[in-house]
Amino acid sequence: MARLTFRVGWRGRIRAPPASGVGPGPRLGPMTTTIGRTVLLCRDLDASAAFWADGFGFRTLFQGETEGFPLLHVGPGRVVEPGLWLVPLPEGGAPLVRHGLPNLVLYVDDLDATLGRLAAAGVEPFVGPDADAETGDRFAHVHDPDGHRVVVVQLGTTTDPA
C-alpha cells in the first residue's frame, strides 16, 4: 500500500502531494455544502465568550442548556451562519491541542485592528505578526483562554483561501 505524506502549510491547509490522486470529492450536482459550527471545549464559558467577543466581535447567538448541559453559540453573524459552540470541558479533561497545529484559522479584514482588540483584552500573539512574501498574506497566532491555537490571517491581494 502506498503511503502519502501530507504537508501542512502555515495557513493550516493540508495539501496532498502532486499526482497523489487525492483531490476534491465527486461533484454532487447543484447541492451547496457549508460548515455549520465548530465545537470548542472550554474550562470557563464566560472567559471564552469574552475572548471571542472582545477579540473578534462575535456575539452570543444562543445560550441555553440541554438536559442540564450548558451550551453557548457565538459567532460573527446569524445563527444559521457558521459559528462556534463553546461547551464545558468534561471534569478532568483537556482541550484538544496537539502537535502545534491550529485549531482554527480565521480570516479578518484588518489584522492590525484585530490584534489591537486582542491586546486590549490581554492577548498577545506568540507567532507574528508576520507576512508571507509570496502571497502578501499577513498572519499571527494567538491562544484562546483554553489554549486552542488560533491563526488570524489578513489575506493579501494574490491569495485565494480555497
Report d(CA 30, CA 13) in Å as an integer: 26
pLDDT given at position 23? 45
pTM of the model: 0.68
Q: Which range has the worst mean pLDDT, 29-33, 108-112, 133-137? A: 29-33
Q: What is the pLDDT of residue 21?
A: 43
The arithmetic mean of pLDDT across residues 27-53, rounded, is 79
Q: What is the mean pLDDT of the chain?
A: 77
What pLDDT score was predicted for residue 95? 62
pLDDT higher than threshold 50 for residue 14: no
Q: For position 39, what pLDDT does the model report?
A: 86
The tens digit of pLDDT for each residue in 112-146 reads 999 999 999 999 999 999 998 888 999 999 999 98
| pLDDT at 154 > cutoff 90 | yes
Q: Is the model's pLDDT at 24 over the cut of 70?
A: no
Looking at residue 94, what is its pLDDT?
66
Q: How many CB atoms lie within 10 A of CB 146?
A: 20
Domains delineated in the chain: 36-93+101-154 (3.10.180.10)
